[in-house]
Structure 1
Amino acid sequence: MASLPRHLLLLLCCFSCLVHPSRARTLVLPLARDASTLRYVATVYHGPSLDPLELAVDLGGPSLWLDCSAPSSGSSVRRVPCRSIQCLAATSDASGLRRACPSGPSSVCGVRAEGGEAGVLGEGALAVDSVDGSGERSVAAVDRFLISCARAAPGFGASGVGGTLGLGRSRISLPSQVATAFGVRRRFFVCLSASEGVIVAGDGPFFSHLDADISKSLTYTPLATPLATARSPRASDYLINLTSIKINGKRLPLNSSSPYLIQLSAEIPYTAVASPIYSALAEAFAGAASAMGMARVPPVAPFGVCFDPRSVGATAAGPDVPAIDLVLQSEMVRWRIGGSSSMVRVSDEATCLGVVDGGDRLGSSVVLGGHQLEDVLLEFDFGGSRLGFSPSLSTMQLSCSNFRSNFNSMACRRIDAISDRIGFGKNGGMYRVLTERARLERSEGTQELTLEK
């Protein structure tokens, strides 16, 4: 019998323990918003000792990028050979990564993201919190999780962040790899919050309120494919079609011959709109606001339309302002942005429309930013190639922090340790192979956890 290291003991006692994949039905990643950058940060566990690791969330990112110049990360990542099945699968056409292998039979798999980041492909242990069907809380681990290893991973400037967590449409994003490893559905949910948010993958129920699971009553729209232009979003980004925009029910005068796309992004704090659309939206919103008695004040950067807060009414769901409807594939499918999502209070003298001019070189017509995505339950369905979204939870007197609290309150009673391997078949498909099993048991009458081989 060998005692566990003290820091691992604390990790297991505080957060729970590793579980068999067949019981890891719901995988949970807690989210927090970095106050200085307004980026969202997720916590995972990485390395042989499964130390906590904070990563900036990249909704459309193709992979997990780590800063391997840090000894704690670099030493725990094994390089993947260039001519391996893993390298070929990770750099397929639809992955959002490109292979950049030097000559030589023993070269490592070099990768380059469409955004310009370059590094090498590696593999290492990664674990996330999980909850099984009985409500027992645990940590589920993948022994050979594929990682893009850079000398300086893009962390978006958030304090203490060791890289980025890619959730995009690629074969080595976190949702793809955990779906394969643990046999859960190829989908995940995101609920961003200014306080405590959550990412959830697996089987439900997930987001229950008054005995109703809100995730069962979402509105769905198909995921779209990026246009083949020099300014296109990444292949791994999440895009949906936009038919029109309405302000208080009145359609904006837009050029209907142009294709419109909405990109979802947690990397920018506020929605960016291409200049021609922004001009029409700002003018229409200001006109509708004036009709409601809202008084304009000088704009406060980066916003272009601001109002005197004393002239803005209030409702239980937030500021009483003109409603913005994004009309998606048909008039019957709309994403409504109400006052709690559209307005930003910047000072005692100004509250502003939280939409910025994205210029003429924006990759999509609209990039929905973090503020507009907060307190909206989002389902990214890989298998069905669709996006589900709820109304603003503020209309139900809820927030994403309510759901985070539900997961936090679940108890851990069972402790199992499993190490999984992700392999690749001849056709490039991934499969799961159990490589090691152990059991962690609590000693009778003590608080010590021991590892039994």
Structure 2
Amino acid sequence: MAAYIVLLFISFLLVLNPVPVKPNGLVLPIQKDQSTKYTQYITRIYQRTPLVPVKLTLDLGGENLWVDCDQRLYYSSSYKAAHCGSKVCSTYSGGGCRDCYVGPQPGCNNNTCTTAIRNRITDHLTGEELAQDLLALQSNNGSSKAGHLVTSAGFVFACGEASILEGTPENVNGFAGFGRGKLGLPSLLSKGFRLPNKFALCLSNSTRSTGVLYFGDKPYMTNPNRDISVYLLYTPLLIKPFSIPGVHFKDDFSSDYWIQVKSIKISGKEVPINATLLTIDKEGYGGTKISTIHPYTVMETSIYRAFKKAFIKELAHIPRVKAVAPFEVCYSSKSLPYTQVGPSAPFIDLGLHHESVWWRIYGENSMVKVSKDVLCLGFVDGGENREVGMVIGAHQIQNNLLQFDLESNRLGFTSLLFLQQTSCANFNFKG
């Protein structure tokens, strides 16, 4: 018993006293959460003085890190509001100056600059106080086990209000935005920890296991001590002009991650689609982006209808069952027995920038188990929407490794890691 107490005390000290050294990389745990009607992926950082764990909804294309500072719940001796005219304001603020007469307190101080924060689940957008505080993350020491906490002082973030957290799980305190831009976590983490501006995302398919986000360069290790980056293929990352298509602002661009999809095949047969909808035009319409906020892949109506028709044709010998919203194509799970790559559904190929580069989607990522007996095609109709041709959702990238290399401006991707006898749940955060 005494030994157990000593171990707990040592663990507690490691949390409160992170190692002040430059890491080789960072790792963040990613937990799938289905406690609300919106499937979300939750990560955890440590922030403030003294350090406390802060749970955040991961938004791959989100513009910044913001946390709830409302109701006097934010306590930190190292909190520093960004005052108008400061270097932080001139570098990172997209808004004006404001006064706040309820404070002074975190999130409410006079003569401070603001920045836009967003809950992209509910599409709630507002401007809030820009600030700095201590940030700590677990280091990546090149093994399949998380290392000590390492810190960055004066890390820039935004304070939000509890009301903006609508739709998130009860214990979530904000959003971790990993999008492009100066306030996105990739840029800030690269500067704060002096690391290459690269990160890799590996989502688990289960609420009972933990996925991982690696920040910095490879190797990206999993148990049993394997570098899964060796399976990466690459395609260019595109920059989409204008965060709102057709609306022009100076130095404006989308914070999301876009790739070129030129074609779609099912069981090796090309689906007849209007591929121009998957290409970004000069006004910023169209294209294909990757999202952790969208739980399933969303397709523009004409693409979805052709895709749905082709998929049904490939399974014409199997009777369908009643559809379960939001899905339109469902089958008995007995008709699609499980294999190494999930339900035995037709494989789907996304043809990328070059005819030799394909992203293959197997049954594990194409089908969704909606009940014990029913599997549904996990793609949904996004309507006649010119703004986006296709959004590749979180279900389709679970147990695939995606590397966002913002230095070479390319996306590295694997297919389903089950083929390599591993998964995204094989990283050890528990010690």
* TM-score of the superposed pair, with normalisation by structure 1: 0.79
Query: 1:5-24 residue pairs with structure 2 within 5 A?
Result: 12-13=12-13, 17-22=17-22, 24=23
Partner deviation per Cα, 1:68-124 (whole Å, 9 max, x = no partner): 104332656421023222122224xxxxxx3233499x7211112476232111111
> Displacement, 1:159?
2.3
1:314 aligns with 2:334: no
Do the aligned partners of residues 133 and 295 (structure 1) sit closer, same or farther apart at CA in structure 2, a change above 3 Å counting?
closer
Partner deviation per Cα, 1:422-443 (whole Å, 9 max, x = no partner): xxxxxxxxxxxxxxxxxxxxxx
Q: Are the counterparts in 1 of residues 294 and 393 from structure 2 also a CA contact under 8 Å?
A: yes
Corresponding position of 2:80: 78
Q: Distance in 2 between matches of 1:365 and 1:279?
A: 13
Query: 1:174-185 residue pairs with structure 2 within 5 A?
Result: 174-185=185-196
What secondary structure does 1:83 align onto? Answer: coil
Corresponding position of 1:90: 92
CA RMSD of aligned residues (A): 2.7
> Displacement, 1:144?
0.5
Moved more, 41-50 or 209-218: 209-218
Q: Are the counterparts in 1 of residues 44 and 56 from structure 2 also a CA contact under 8 Å?
A: yes
What secondary structure does 2:407 align onto? Answer: coil
* TM-score of the superposed pair, with normalisation by structure 2: 0.83
Do the aligned partners of residues 155 and 231 (structure 1) sit closer, same or farther apart at CA in structure 2, a change above 3 Å counting?
farther
Q: Are the counterparts in 2 of residues 25 and 132 from structure 1 also a CA contact under 8 Å?
A: yes
Do the aligned partners of residues 130 and 229 (structure 1) sit closer, same or farther apart at CA in structure 2, a change above 3 Å counting?
closer
Q: Are the counterparts in 2 of residues 187 and 380 from structure 1 also a CA contact under 8 Å?
A: yes
Task: State the identity as a percent.
Answer: 36
Corresponding position of 1:52: 53
Q: Are the counterparts in 1 of residues 63 and 180 from structure 2 also a CA contact under 8 Å?
A: yes
> Displacement, 1:136?
8.1
Q: Distance in 1 between matches of 2:393 and 2:293?
A: 7
> Displacement, 1:377?
0.7
| Structure 1 alignment gaps of length 5 or more | 1-5, 92-97, 410-453
Corresponding position of 2:96: 100
| Structure 2 alignment gaps of length 5 or more | 1-5, 101-109, 247-251, 280-285
Moved more, 352-361 or 107-116: 107-116
Q: Are the counterparts in 1 of residues 367 and 375 from structure 2 also a CA contact under 8 Å?
A: yes
Q: Distance in 2 between matches of 1:363 and 1:45?
A: 37
Q: Distance in 2 between matches of 1:284 and 1:21?
A: 54
Q: Distance in 2 between matches of 1:352 and 1:367?
A: 18
Moved more, 191-200 or 145-154: 145-154
Do the aligned partners of residues 253 and 386 (structure 1) sit closer, same or farther apart at CA in structure 2, a change above 3 Å counting?
same
Do the aligned partners of residues 367 and 86 (structure 1) sit closer, same or farther apart at CA in structure 2, a change above 3 Å counting?
same
Moved more, 124-133 or 48-57: 124-133
Do the aligned partners of residues 128 and 304 (structure 1) sit closer, same or farther apart at CA in structure 2, a change above 3 Å counting?
same
Corresponding position of 1:26: 25
Higher relative contact order (CA 8 A, sep 6+): 1
Corresponding position of 1:117: 126
Q: Give the letter for the 2:19 counterpart.
A: V
Partner deviation per Cα, 1:257-299 (whole Å, 9 max, x = no partner): 4425221111121111111111111111111122xx3221121
1:279 aligns with 2:289: no
What secondary structure does 1:340 align onto? Answer: helix
Do the aligned partners of residues 289 and 15 (structure 1) sit closer, same or farther apart at CA in structure 2, a change above 3 Å counting?
farther
Do the aligned partners of residues 205 and 31 (structure 1) sit closer, same or farther apart at CA in structure 2, a change above 3 Å counting?
same
Q: Distance in 1 between matches of 2:292 and 2:243?
A: 23
Do the aligned partners of residues 383 and 197 (structure 1) sit closer, same or farther apart at CA in structure 2, a change above 3 Å counting?
same
Corresponding position of 1:214: 228
1:295 aligns with 2:294: no
In the TM superposition, structure 1's runs of 4+ consecutive aligned residues that sit over 6 Å from their partners are none
Q: Distance in 2 between matches of 1:14 and 1:21?
A: 14
Do the aligned partners of residues 117 and 361 (structure 1) sit closer, same or farther apart at CA in structure 2, a change above 3 Å counting?
farther
What secondary structure does 1:109 align onto? Answer: strand
> Displacement, 1:173?
2.1
